[in-house]
Amino acid sequence: MNKSRIKWWPQYLAAITATLSMATSGSHIGWTSPILPKLKSSESYMPITSDDASWIASFVLLGSIPGNIIAAFIVDRLGRKVCLLLAGIPLTISWILIIVAWCPYVLYVSRFIGGIGLGVAYVVCPMYIGEIADKEIRGSLGSLIKLMVTFGELYAHAIGPFVSYECLAYSCAVIPIIFFLTFSWMPESPYYLLMRNREDKATYNLKCLKRYATEDQLEEDIEQMQKTVLRDLSDKGNIWDLFNTPGNRRAVVISFGLQLVLQFSGLAAIESYTQEILEEADTDLSAGIAVIVLSVLQLIAGIGAAALVDRLGRRPLLLVTTLLGGLSLTVTGTFYLLKHYVLANMTGFGWVLHASVIFYELIIALGLNPLSYMMLGELFPTNVKGAAVSIANMWASLLAFFVSKMYQVISDSCGVYTSFGWFAVSCFLGIVFILFMVPETKGKSLLEIQEELNCKKKKQQKCGKNNRKIHVNTLA
């Protein structure tokens, strides 16, 4: 099919407005970095203890778990677009409660409610983008998910150190308002509409998403979507169907494995304690400014990921970024080992700590972080995608909460260098997992990905030869 006249900007516009929900989630994640030190200071109007601070930071992760479960029940009933708009409601309510909070318990509730919206958004947004995007740009659009989370974190990090508690909350509340005003005008996923037997509306939405496409091109795309939907819905999916076919079982192992590698690389802990970690460097650069620099570099890396993922492919980016992440964590752990265990004088070498931590978050933002979430929208068939993405995100939330809590426990009992050693080893083991388990999905339609996942390795060549026959049989 000649796609030279097709304009992709409507798909980019839909993806950008949809991922404003992720930017709102990112602002909730980034809010703790500049605010907790202010609340813990002697000048705080609402003094909190270190234990209060740890719960304020982690309640958003706990809240995301029921959010994941709720999303699994509503995403195929209400649609991708409506569910994303609903996710914006608790994300907005959370900011309102933060503004009026008078004690730590109100902040606990606000963070938990925000986590519910975050959990729904993390499930639905990858599904929406995976279903509206052409295969040529699906990787780029999928990378916007983590890019916008990073933008939200940067937004909070950049404003927080220079304004009051209330001013930062008001500033962050602007993002969900923009999300409601813009995404409300975007089209629903054509895949979902076909699931509901609304072919005319699906064709209309597809035409909106693919400007200047000919009638033949639209008809071919709708036919391809119908093949996927008909095959996926021939047996209505439930949670147990995740394990009924080889393709689904393999997709579960891949998605859970990628999240295990990502979370055990220490991402949640390092993001939660970034300022405290960087303060160990004892350099002239303040930790607050270093966090802002880090967030800017993460945003640049996210843009780079969006540009590279459809050029280099998923596997190369996963392998390279996981390897480099493991090496940078090794450097960080070695710095702490020399400083706290060997008791070496590290004066003048604080820049090594800054560089290694910043490089870790930069390189992870370039590949492992966005791809672990983006591929959720590619690996599962339509009939189980809602349940699969929900469970995968719930798994990620549990791992993130576990890592955040255990980081402090292990650091206090065995030393910070032990925690970073754990993170580094996890990255190196993750390389083996990616090498042998994760397939390349670059340039493949959702139907082609499902066919590959359901073909055993030794039979893939035979399956490839029979693809045309399989297509015809599915359509029939």
Profile the chain (476 residues) by mean pLDDT over runs of 10 residues.
61 89 90 82 79 81 87 84 93 93 90 92 86 74 80 86 88 93 88 79 77 70 75 66 78 90 88 74 71 79 71 84 93 87 76 86 83 78 73 85 80 85 93 88 75 62 45 32
b/e 447-463 (16+ beta carbons within 10 angstroms → b): bbbbbbbbbeeeeeeee
The domains of the chain, with CATH numbers, are 6-185 (1.20.1250.20), 243-451 (1.20.1250.20)
**Three-state DSSP class for residue 211:** strand
Q: Dihedral angle at the C-alpha atoms of 449, 82, 114, 295, nearest 10 degrees? A: 50
Model-level pTM? Answer: 0.73
How many angstroms separate the CA atoms of 318 and 379, rounded?
16
pLDDT score for 468: 42
Distances (CA, A) of 428 to 175, 323, 435: 37, 6, 11
Q: What sign results for the dihedral spanned by CA atoms 163, 42, 286, 422?
A: negative
User: Rounded to 5 degrees, what angle do the CA atoms 440, 442, 445 make?
Assistant: 105
pLDDT score for 237: 61
Q: Which of 74, 160, 188, 159 is nearest to 121 (CA)?
A: 74
pLDDT score for 114: 93
pLDDT score for 176: 93
pLDDT score for 469: 42
Distances (CA, A) of 213 to 132, 191, 208: 15, 18, 10
Burial class (CB in 10 A: 0-12, 13-18, 19+), 164: exposed
**Three-state DSSP class for residue 144:** helix
pLDDT score for 336: 87
